[in-house]
Amino acid sequence: MQGIEKYSGSLQNYLDEVITLKEPIRLYEPIKYIVSLGGKRLRPVLTLLSCDMFNSDYKNALPAALALELFHNFSLIHDDIMDEAPLRRGKETVHQKWNLNTGILSGDAMLILAYQLFEEYEPTMFRDLAKLFSKTALQVCEGQQYDVDFETKTDVTISDYIKMIDYKTAVLLGASMKMGAIVANASEDCKTNSYDFGRNLGIAFQLQDDYLDCFGNPETFGKQIGGDIIANKKTFLYIKAFQNSSDSEKIYLEKLFSEKPKDPTEKIKVVLDIYNKSGATQETLKEILRYTQKANKVLNKLDISDKNREILLSFGEKLMNRNV
């Protein structure tokens, strides 16, 4: 296995082949737009890497990898609609650039295009991939619903929260790894362990996303900083800060998270200060490390070469030190 750059290159070529501008333009243009904004291509790279590391030609995994990237981009379009987010990857969101209905329909078409890509595989593999995909997509939906519910729920626990991010984000990373193993016809143990690696890494990744939403660099993060605070999201940071607060501080935090001021600048400043002073920021960073280490522990169970293990280790490390 060479460096991981080759995977993004191959994926881009395949994407350009499959995702073309055609009539009706208003359906396909937003699809081309969102996928052309790039992003880290994390999920497809994991699929290609996983296939390669289990000794199969990684190009065989290109349709599955692109299906995952299309699904991810579809979910971003719909998530941005639900959050009324203005920015994605540093550019206008689809519903902002066009309109709500365009975002809904182009998103729907992306989900179908993703399913269609599994038709590139023979029946048994098609069934295994489609089964994993459907199960994962449904969990993503459930995670999203928990996330929405938590905005108005006042007693969200850390375990509620971890379950929510597990479903909303982590299972897709697990599925990305496992799809590579399925395409490579790897053993059942390898499929399970690669899924667990991706899933633990996914929890660490979403916790990092929450951290960056508060403390990231607006120039590189590509989303509005403080977006979760504006939307009154009960993230790991909020729950920890709440747990570490006195009764009067709890009342204050609850009040802050029941309001949606027109200008949120002051609210964001106050909440970030609470996160820092309560120790929530430090505890979040510790939890990111804990899940990354959990992922790395699973790596030792994988039947892969030391060189490939090293590549996965450094992949996880880079991900956790990211600023995008």
Contact between 171 and ligand GRG per CB under 6 A: no
How far apart CA 29 and CA 1 sit, in angstroms, is 35
Contact between 240 and ligand GRG per CB under 6 A: no
Binding mask 257-296 for ligand GRG (x = CB under 6 A): ----------------------------------------
- Choose between 209 and 287: whose C-beta lies nearer to ligand GRG: 209
How far apart CA 140 and CA 74 sit, in angstroms, is 12
Contact between 137 and ligand GRG per CB under 6 A: yes
Contacts of 239 (CB under 8 A, 6+ apart): 156, 157, 158, 161
Total residues at the site for ligand GRG (CB under 6 A)?
16
Task: Scan residues 62-91 and list those touching ligand GRG (CB under 6 A).
Answer: 75-76, 78-79, 89
Contact (Cβ atoms closer than 8 angstroms) between residue 106 and residue 94: yes
Identity of the residue numbered 163 = K
Binding mask 173-212 for ligand GRG (x = CB under 6 A): ---------------------------------x--x---
Task: Scan residues 151-170 and list those touching ligand GRG (CB under 6 A).
Answer: 168-169
Cα–Cα nearest to 26, from 104, 117, 115: 104
Residue 36: strand, helix, or coil: helix
Cα–Cα nearest to 106, from 158, 162, 32: 32
Q: What token pair was written down for 35?
A: 């996928």
When binding is defined by CB under 6 A, the residue of 141, 148, 225, 272 that contacts ligand GRG is: 141
The site for ligand GRG (CB under 6 A) is made up of 39-40, 42, 75-76, 78-79, 89, 137, 140-141, 144, 168-169, 206, 209
